[in-house]
Amino acid sequence: MRIAIAEVGQETDSFSPLTTDLRDFEGFGLFFGEEILQRMRGVGPLGGMLEVASEQPTAPTLLPILRAWAGAGGALTAATLEFFRDRLVSDLKRLLPLDAVFLALHGAAAAELEDDVEGELLSAVRGVVGPDLPVIVTLDHHANITRRMVQHATTLIGHETQPHDPVDTGRKTARVMFNLLAGRCRPTMAWRKIPLITPQDQFLTSQGPMKEWFDLAREMERRPGVIDVSPYPMQPWLDVQEGGWAVVVHTDGDRKLAEELAKESAAKAWSLREKFWESARTPVADAVRQAVAAESGLIILSDTGDSVYGGSPGDSTCILRELLRQNVPCRTLVPMVDVAAVEAAHSAGVGARIQVSLGGRVDHVFSQPVPVDARVAGISNGVTLELPDRGPCDLGRAALLEIGAIRLVALDSRTFAINHPSLYMHLGLDINDAKIVVLKTASNFQFFSRWRKGLIRVDSPGTTQSDLTAFDWKRVPRPIYPLDPVSQYHP
Ligand SMILES: [Zn+2]
């Protein structure tokens, strides 16, 4: 049994001023060939697939091609997409004949000249392997499902939870693949587009309307003949031609059932549309006041407009400016992507005082630099963390700046560790001493859950802000709710 495997994952924020190239992928570990089998054990969808593969009665021959993952950011450069496509095509040609291809994709990647990165990659893969070979695909559930993806993939199976459990998605999908290869099932796909985009405020699958929608998917999977039901609430900053929510249903050879369930699931999401738009966002000044007044910490201030995991630059000064204005008296941890500040701190050295303008450089539409007088309390040339489920994560160069009660870590890159306690701990800080932490995410607070006493979603502006009506949408199909009135929708 010969199975080619690869991962290409990136989530594009169309409103981000950044672009994404191979260096961004290198920061998370860009691997080729056999190295993938060693490095991806227990990590991501490939990790889950490797686990299931090792449990097969007859060991399959796994043929690793490429592992590229880059979190969220701006659109891929044309050359980066071309590199991935060429690598997949040339390696697949070399590896033929195959029994299956297992691809871990994100589903919400766009490139400079291509709205549908995954559709483009899948169509290239299909071009090599022919119309009948199983092309088994896992996706992030914030994917944008397109006609080309459905046409060229055999499965499109998404995460069951937010925060995601990518290893589990890999396991689930691998089981489908091995059942298919053993002749025990014949996945048949149906899907529906839903003319809807919503902000991230209701994205957690543990509560509210998202729980209702995802619970229905799990319930449907218990019905006879159903293999997988994957709801896809597209991440909300993707302005592309076929943008919008979707659901994909896989049944065991039963087209009619797949169509019925896709219709039922889409209708469910549509019926909840107003609930998906409910939002509890606190104005910045109130958020800071509430955090300071809280009985005890740690209070998380979620910088929703500058979510690095959503693709923002991580250099918004909106909350920092307010912390300074209110002269916060308690220990407050703040991350900030600012290469110039890192350079200034490194050349001044530990103990020196520096005057710098912080942040507001990459994105200067939504926030402006803030001048500060800071003491350099620590510098670091970076460490590489091994994050469970995620793999290697390079912290890059950093500097710890003391500004009154604020402890700000300036970073030279948009590292995934920006929302991780290691960012502060590796510079000698104890999280227990802090009352407030600013996180550049709107959903992924799990790394601080040990200390968390409260969470305030700050209504901060930025390229991942919750007010989606404020963006200049150019490409999503119209009408789409709630940018336009959609009087009726019949899935
Ligand atoms: Zn996601």
Residue-wise pLDDT for 236-283, tens only, equals 999 999 999 999 999 999 999 999 999 999 999 999 999 999 888 899
**pLDDT tens digits for range 23-64:** 999 988 899 999 999 999 999 999 999 999 999 999 999 999
Query: Rounded to the nearest whole angstrom, what is the distance from the C-alpha of residue 401 to the centroid of ligand 1?
Result: 32
Question: Residue 384: is its pLDDT beyond 90?
Answer: no
Query: Rounded to the nearest whole angstrom, what is the distance from the C-alpha of residue 197 to the centroid of ligand 1?
Result: 14
Query: Rounded to the nearest whole angstrom, what is the distance from the C-alpha of residue 296 to the centroid of ligand 1?
Result: 31
Q: How confident is the model at residue 220, as a pLDDT?
A: 98
Q: How confident is the model at residue 317, as a pLDDT?
A: 97
pTM for the full model? 0.89
Q: How confident is the model at residue 484, as a pLDDT?
A: 92
Question: Residue 353: is its pLDDT beyond 80?
Answer: yes
Query: Rounded to the nearest whole angstrom, what is the distance from the C-alpha of residue 15 to the centroid of ligand 1?
Result: 17
Query: Rounded to the nearest whole angstrom, what is the distance from the C-alpha of residue 158 to the centroid of ligand 1?
Result: 9
| Strand partners for 171 | none
Give the mean model confidence (pLDDT) for residues 360-376. 93
**pLDDT tens digits for range 311-326:** 899 999 999 999 999 9
Q: How confident is the model at residue 443, as a pLDDT?
A: 86
Domain ranges within the chain, ordered by starting residue? 2-276, 284-465
Q: How confident is the model at residue 388, as a pLDDT?
A: 72
Query: Rounded to the nearest whole angstrom, what is the distance from the C-alpha of residue 91 to the centroid of ligand 1?
Result: 28
Q: How confident is the model at residue 383, as a pLDDT?
A: 83
DSSP state of 225: T
Query: Rounded to the nearest whole angstrom, what is the distance from the C-alpha of residue 199 to the centroid of ligand 1?
Result: 13
> What is the crossing angle of helices 318-325 and 284-293, to 10°?
60
Query: Rounded to the nearest whole angstrom, what is the distance from the C-alpha of residue 142 to the centroid of ligand 1?
Result: 5
Q: How far apart are CA 296 and CA 16, in angstroms?
A: 35
Query: Rounded to the nearest whole angstrom, what is the distance from the C-alpha of residue 448 to the centroid of ligand 1?
Result: 19
Query: Rounded to the nearest whole angstrom, what is the distance from the C-alpha of residue 283 to the centroid of ligand 1?
Result: 26
Query: Rounded to the nearest whole angstrom, what is the distance from the C-alpha of residue 488 to the centroid of ligand 1?
Result: 28
Query: Rounded to the nearest whole angstrom, what is the distance from the C-alpha of residue 11 to the centroid of ligand 1?
Result: 8
Query: Rounded to the nearest whole angstrom, what is the distance from the C-alpha of residue 227 to the centroid of ligand 1?
Result: 22
Give the C-alpha distances (Å, rounded to integers) separating 140 from 77, 133, 230.
21, 23, 10
Backbone angles phi, psi at 282, to 5 degrees: -105, 130
Backbone angles phi, psi at 83, to 5 degrees: -60, -50
What type of residue is 484?
A: D
* pLDDT, mean over the chain: 95
Query: Rounded to the nearest whole angstrom, what is the distance from the C-alpha of residue 399 to the centroid of ligand 1?
Result: 29
Q: How confident is the model at residue 401, as a pLDDT?
A: 98
- The percentage of the chain sitting over the pLDDT mark of 70, rounded to a whole number, equals 100
> pLDDT tier at 394 (50, 70, 90 boundaries)?
confident
Q: How confident is the model at residue 391, as a pLDDT?
A: 75
Query: Rounded to the nearest whole angstrom, what is the distance from the C-alpha of residue 377 to the centroid of ligand 1?
Result: 35
CB atoms within 10 A of CB 151: 12
Query: Rounded to the nearest whole angstrom, what is the distance from the C-alpha of residue 60 to the centroid of ligand 1?
Result: 30
Residues in the chain: 491
Give the C-alpha distances (Å, rounded to integers) separating 218 from 228, 424, 485.
8, 39, 31
Q: How far apart are CA 448 and CA 453, in angstroms?
A: 10
> pLDDT tier at 393 (50, 70, 90 boundaries)?
confident
Backbone angles phi, psi at 120, to 5 degrees: -65, -45
Q: How far apart are CA 274 and CA 269, in angstroms?
A: 10
**pLDDT tens digits for range 413-444:** 998 899 999 999 999 999 999 999 999 999 89
As a CATH number, domain 2-276 is: 3.40.50.2300
Query: Rounded to the nearest whole angstrom, what is the distance from the C-alpha of residue 141 to the centroid of ligand 1?
Result: 6
